[in-house]
Amino acid sequence: MDAAEFIWMDGKLIKWEDAKVHVLTHSLHYANAVFEGTRAYQTDKGLAIFRLRDHTKRLLKSAKMTVLNCKYTLEELENAQIELLRANKFKGNVYLRPLIYLGYGIMGLAHTKAPVNTAIAAWEWGAYLGEEGLKKGIRVKISSFAKYAPNSQMTKAKSSSNYLTSQMANYEAKDAGYDEALLLDEEGFVAEGPGECFFIVENGELVTPPSDNALLSITQDTVIKLACDLGIKVRRERLTRDQVYTADEAFFTGTAAEVTPISNIDNRIIGSGERGEVTKRLQDAYFDVVYGKNEKYASFLTYI
């Protein structure tokens, strides 16, 4: 990670190296924190944040689910992200990480008397799964770790606690020589990647699992909208492991992953083993939107 100049912390711009918390910060011990992943792209009109309002709304919804009483409004958090990007004067594409967490002051499981802090970091970041992966696809392993059931965790919250399973699944996959993992739910149906939504192409149609126990994805929503524009039918259906193995194409979507083709799952070649035609069409359409080249979706961009 390349350091930037400033991080926004509780209303102030702090030097990157001075943005610190106490070792007894409550969230560090008990995992109650929520965050967002948002991207900003260098367009022909300058740096622009993609779907800023939608990401910031989801951050505050996650905080409400986990009883983190953030003192900042939606508009204040949006303005803070804009302020941070202006202050850092980035030259490339940027990843933003807003975080609402419980700070230093008390210990023990009871959290409502702990101070609620908010921080926003941003740094220049390229393709999450590699530039080569965007073109040729990645290798994926179905994980031995299952996605949380809705009655065991708040699966609609983008919370730090939810990501331990994601971290372990990702580690397991990479340790076995793959690029990323794919998690099943408690009933054995495909859920999502550690930090991505999953799509297959079947007979020219897109299929993606329902969000029964997965985060409501902003990138997934964008891709579904673009598929409709391109005349590609989209089905929201449960997917089995064997159905995935025989897909014509497969890909991940997410703020970090963008639209990343999948060439191999559990050593089964997917389609031709390269980025498929439908995946490429959607990938091109997605990048047209985030780089400000599709006027229909101009409202998705907040220029800095």
> Which 8-state DSSP code applies to residue 303?
E
Q: In terms of pTM, does the model score above 0.85?
A: yes
Residues 16 and 70 in one domain: yes
Of the residues 158, 280, 293, 296, only one is catalytic, namely 158
Residues 92 and 144 in one domain: no
Q: The domain spanning residue 196 has which CATH number? A: 3.20.10.10
The sign of the dihedral angle between the CA atoms of 201, 253, 236, 231 is negative
Give pLDDT tens digits for 27-52.
999 999 999 999 999 999 999 999 99
Overall average pLDDT of the 65-84 stretch: 98
Of 124, 159, 185, the residue that ends a domain is 124
Position 225 scores a pLDDT of 98
16, part of any domain: yes
Q: Which two tokens stand for residue 276?
A: 């498929």
Overall average pLDDT of the 93-115 stretch: 97
Residues 117 and 158 in one domain: no
113, part of any domain: yes
Overall average pLDDT of the 197-224 stretch: 94
Considering its fold, how many domains does the chain have in total? 2
251, part of any domain: yes
Residues 195 and 76 in one domain: no
Task: Mark whether 158 is an active-site residue.
Answer: yes
Of 124, 153, 168, the residue that ends a domain is 124
Domain interval for residue 68: 6-124
Position 43 scores a pLDDT of 97
Could you tell me how far CA 205 lies from the centroid of its own chain?
24
Residues 109 and 220 in one domain: no
Give pLDDT tens digits for 122-134.
999 987 777 888 9
* Rounded CA separation 55/116 (Å): 19
Q: Is the pLDDT of residue 149 over 90?
A: no
Residues 42 and 186 in one domain: no
* Rounded CA separation 92/42 (Å): 6
Residues 136 and 284 in one domain: yes
Of 61, 93, 124, the residue that ends a domain is 124
Q: What is the mean pLDDT of the chain?
A: 96
